[in-house]
Chain A
Amino acid sequence: MSTVVKQERAVSINPLRACAPIGAMLATFGIHGALTINHGSQGCATYPRHQMARHFREPVEVATSSLTESTTIYGGRENLLAAIKNVYERFNPTMITVCSTCLSETIGDDIPAFIDEFKGLNPEIDIPILAVKSPSYVGTHITGFDNFLKELALALPRKTRPNKRVNIIPGWVNPGDIREIKEILSEMQIDGLVLTDYSDTLDGGLYSPRPHFPKGGISLDEIKDSANALGTIALQKHVGGEAARVYKRRYGVPAHVLPMPIGMANTDRFIKTLSEITGKPVSAELQSARARMLDAIVDTHMITTGAKVAIYGDPDLVEGLVRLVVEMGMEPKYVATATDSKTWPTDLMALSEEFNLDMEIMPKTDLYAIHKKMKAHPVDLLIGHSKGKYIADEEKVPLIRAGFPVEDRYGYHRRSVVGYKGGVYLVDKITNALLAKKGALVSNTLLEFK
């Protein structure tokens, strides 16, 4: 029987979450030619840029309105007006996202009003300028992403003629995940609109000459057309679920808010939904991929079954990973997220009842809380982003890196954890980590016996 464990401390020790602006910045990279202005202190732009550069290993450019003491006293209006003008004139972007920060929210800057004023003063500048609320003291890094998607869904789509496309909102994932989702769509011959698509802009190649804006990203025309889709599938409840409902309310596009397609059952559900919406059959290639994933779980189950695991990260990622490890016969012991979600503990409890699990479900928590639990009752494996490396090092438990950020290793942003291929990758990675740690007798081959 699982329990929901609340954190009672005032202090957060080793937080497992970042703050909201980085989410809106990341989402903006998924629109071709779009740029972000962070309306706040310079650090509020530089820190997230630095964090993204460490994860994606790509140039990450964000402008700032550079608020200092005097602008803090007199308000940031003039700085923001100048910032929008400068960014527009210098870069000629297709769209501008303006993120609020603790600073601009606390001094009460009305960003939408400033944007209206800017448009009034500069009628010749005819690009969408989107205001996104993203103070650090509300929610987490996924809040900024989610708010961005909501604002985008409200502001840009235009209902015209049905287009037989499917809107896909992947949520906070890696470029590799988006690429995997697009491959699934292409195998099923489905025309998808990925909101938003940073698979190329943040995992781009090297081109000569360097393009003015990185290749890739969804175009504004495609975003406009998203109001005419057959349906919207949000693949994370907490990042994009609300936007999917906006599409339903505003444009009459049916909404499907699914668990993140990690593991067999969740991926099946995604593909079944795609098939139902479009009437397209599941392709032979996808059926083979599914069979390979099943094969991989069969091959490895004698090593994985019964292994205890702690999982932390964004709520939808953790929920998906829990289902996958359970499919592999593992026992999730501590499952944790920093997000203060009402639905997440309930969803995890439902999973627990479905599989008769014994987990401590830890919402709104930090890494120190997980570490303390593991000290009392050790686990065999840790799954989460790279900030958990200190726990892994100290407890000598392997860490399977997943989520954001992974800053101490290369290439994780290119990998997919979603879909059948993502599943095979995780199954292999997890199994090999357990083998490397324990040493075991497999198929009569002696491996580093302890």
Chain B
Amino acid sequence: MAVLKCDATIPERDKHILIKGEGQDGKCSIACNSATTPGDMTERGCTYAGCRGVVGGPVQDAIQLTHGPIGCAFFSWGYRPHIADSDFHMKYTFVSDMDESNVVFGGEKKLLQSIIEANEAFPEAKGVFIYNTCTTALIGDDGKDVAKIATEKIGKPVVFFPCEGFRGVSQSAGHHVGNETIFKNLVGTAEPEEDSAYSINILGDYNIKGDLRTFEPLFEAIGLNIVARFTGNVKVDELKVMHRAKLNVIHCARSATYVADMMETKYGTPSINVTLWGIENMSKALRDTAAFFGLEHEAEKVIKREVAKVMPKIEYYRKRLAGKKVFIYQGGPRAWHWPELLAELGMETIGAATTFGHADDYQKIYEKVNDGAFIIDNPNVPELEEILLTLKPDLFISGNKEKYVAYKLGVPFVNGHTYETGPYAGFSGMVNFARDMDKALSAPVWKLVKDMAQPVPGGLEEEVA
């Protein structure tokens, strides 16, 4: 018997669904990080999406050049709000624009020509990132070799990401490729003018709607220098010197642990995992980071000051939000980062799902939710719909595509993926997050929907079923 009715015809989906309960010995034995069932209405993206969209794309002064046909470049252009001091990377996308004859005769020449022309058009760019696609991988273009030749020709780093879409089972593989490629090609290729004993890298933050501005000043206020952000609001030159930081502070453990591990092996840089969402988590992140440098006293001062600023607002929202039940569906870590900050506001996570979570992600979710909570891997649209209708969460937190499914079902929704309004990280971001949830929950429209939504006229249902 399938847990979800809609899975009656795809029984293997059952292995990807788990309800936390007795007899599980605290272990989350859920099938994950495996290929999507064909015919599934999955929400997953591809390896290219993970590499270009998440990891490489935010680098603000690199030419973002897709080696392939037009679609991959067009669709990955500008939809993820990883904003930066310079908006070059958001404003421009570049593509070698393969047509049928290029596919037949090979695209290496066109790629080289594209790099040269792009660099001529934007000489201020500090490097060129080339992303491979299904097509150019299949025809066997040697992008790595072209990158090498191009580097010599233009005198700037040209970095090739082997991130063709069919690699791996989800966009998660693209994060791995992104980390590895940046590490091998850029990290350690320059030395900073000055060295600081109090320097860190922030890893796995992509500055969605300006997240960095909520917590960067706090790290600086306790006396730390940020060498590089990986990769929100980062410059190519900062990536080159990031090996000189004394500590790696990892925010998104799913997408950026790879680079921290490689830095530990090669440079001996230690790292700590933090969560930069929520009052408690943010405070702990500052404490843990400061402790590494012996700056505990400074950290406490900053935490005290900042928490005092936001607490009245948090209290206000806590009263309004307490007791609400939430279903979270995010890419990876937010599904295990956020149950804690929801709990801070008195809310309960009754269901959590991720697009591309691995076993360790699900274990973390498992440990943070109550018995009876619903955990689901790589859910598809009918499953999401059934969950919303049967679990009846007060609020659904997910991304843009799922937003309209929720709306059609009359379920309040917050876009946790690219955010509704402005940053959600840090102390002040927590206020934004609470405000958005309150807006979603208390909007009068839901009463209108409840009282006034009409059945479909004309009985089209019977015609189909």
Contact = CB atoms under 8 A, between A and B. Distances in A.
Interface of A: 9-15, 17-22, 32-33, 37, 40-51, 53-54, 57-69, 71-72, 78-80, 82-87, 89-92, 94, 101-103, 106-107, 135-138, 140, 206-213, 215, 219, 338, 368, 387, 390, 407
Given A11-B96, A102-B69, 4 more contacts: A21-B71, A53-B401, A53-B403, A106-B138
A135 B69 contact: yes
B410 A47 contact: no
Interface size class of B (residues with CB under 8 A): 35 or more
B390 interface: no
Interface of B: 6, 9-10, 35-49, 65, 68-79, 91-100, 102-103, 110, 113-115, 117-118, 121, 133-135, 138-139, 165-171, 381-382, 385, 400-401, 403-405, 407-410, 449, 453-458, 460-461, 463-465
Nearest to B50: A43
A69 B118 contact: no
20 contacts: A10-B110, A18-B70, A19-B70, A40-B165, A41-B134, A42-B45, A44-B46, A46-B46, A48-B71, A63-B39, A66-B42, A68-B167, A68-B169, A72-B138, A90-B39, A92-B465, A138-B99, A206-B449, A210-B409, A211-B461
B464 A94 contact: yes
Contacts of A80: 38
Contacts of A390: 91-92
Contacts of B69: 19, 102, 135-137
Given A47-B71, A106-B134, A86 B400 contact: no
A102 B66 CA distance: 14
B465 A15 contact: no
Contact of B42 (A64, A71, A85): A64
A86 B10 contact: yes
Nearest to A213: B464
B404 A59 contact: yes
A90 B464 contact: no
B133 to A, nearest CB: 7
B400 A59 contact: no
Contacts of A208: 410, 449, 453-455
A375 to B, nearest CB: 12
A333 B259 CA distance: 50
A395 to B, nearest CB: 13
Nearest to A140: B70
Contact of B400 (A37, A53, A71, A140): A53
Contact of B39 (A10, A33, A83, A92): A83
A71 B38 CA distance: 11
Nearest to B37: A86
Given A43-B46, A79-B38, A19 B74 contact: yes
B75, B458, B461 — most chain A CB neighbours (10 Å): B75
A103 B117 contact: no
Contacts of A10: 96-97, 110, 113-114, 117
Given A47-B71, A66-B38, A83-B39, A42 B454 contact: no
